[in-house]
Homo-oligomer: A and B are copies of this chain.
């Protein structure tokens, strides 16, 4: 059974070591069934700055992000940009599309992906009904996040927006399920995106973002190392600011 053996090797290589295995939609599929997953998908590597989904282009594939981070955004004709989200490990991309993609996805650093053609997802879903539920769950979670972002963009102040952003970035760094509180002590986060990205994510200008970082620093809420790393010194206070409970 040479074929069987080498297939298992391929699977071990692809899914066995995949960092996204347990957090992505792939966790709806048993280890035993991984060969099917491998057969229906292909691995893609995208260098920093390259787009792998283009707004308006025909939507043929879904992607699972298995390494690195990406910015998702739309543009207005005059170049105004709104960043929809920062995709991270395990995120499923391409749900928000009918015939064509509703956003562009661009690698922040180097990015690893698994590409699933729509037809592959159809076959997988047919074979593993649990996957359908998992996709549904993914869509629901995405919708809930979107609603929170509407509140942020429609009704929050610049301070509240930046605080919300920092707390949101901290969530994956925290123990699962726990809220962000002061008691957890300082929390250091990487910020792989530029200030411009943060501004376009929060509906602000780069200057306002920079100034607000400055204020938080002065107030002892954060400390900054070289613009691409922050330490939350008072995560709970930031969380209160984010929710409009406390103003500073």
Asked if A80 and B155 sit within 8 Å, CB to CB, the answer is yes
- What sequence of 0s and 1s flags, for each residue 133-162 of chain A, a beta carbon within 8 Å of any chain B beta carbon? 001100111111011111101111000000
A147 CB contacts on chain B under 8 angstroms: 74, 84, 96, 102-103, 146
A136 CB contacts on chain B under 8 angstroms: 132, 135-136, 139
Asked if A155 and B82 sit within 8 Å, CB to CB, the answer is yes
A103 CB contacts on chain B under 8 angstroms: 147
Known: A74-B151, A76-B243, A149-B150. A140 touches B139 (CB 8 A): yes
Asked if A151 and B102 sit within 8 Å, CB to CB, the answer is no
- From 34 to 58 in chain A, residues with beta carbon under 8 angstroms from any chain B beta carbon are none
| Complex Cα gap A132–B80 (Å) | 36
**Shortest CB distance A61–B (Å):** 14
Known: A143-B96, A144-B97. A81 touches B155 (CB 8 A): yes
Question: Counting CB contacts under 8 A, is A177 at the interface?
Answer: no
A139 CB contacts on chain B under 8 angstroms: 95, 136, 139-140, 143
- What sequence of 0s and 1s flags, for each residue 81-121 of chain A, a beta carbon within 8 Å of any chain B beta carbon? 11010000000000111100011000000000000000000
A144 CB contacts on chain B under 8 angstroms: 96-98, 102
Known: A80-B244, A140-B97, A142-B143. A203 touches B153 (CB 8 A): yes
| Complex Cα gap A205–B81 (Å) | 24
| Complex Cα gap A81–B151 (Å) | 8
Show 21 residue pairs from A and B whose CB-CB distance is below 8 angstroms, ordered by the A residue.
A74-B150, A76-B155, A77-B245, A78-B244, A80-B155, A80-B244, A84-B147, A96-B140, A97-B140, A98-B144, A102-B144, A132-B132, A136-B139, A139-B140, A143-B146, A146-B146, A150-B153, A153-B153, A154-B200, A154-B203, A155-B203
What is the interface of chain A, defined by CB distance below 8 A to chain B?
A: 74, 76-78, 80-82, 84, 95-98, 102-103, 132, 135-136, 139-144, 146-151, 153-156, 200, 202-203, 243-245
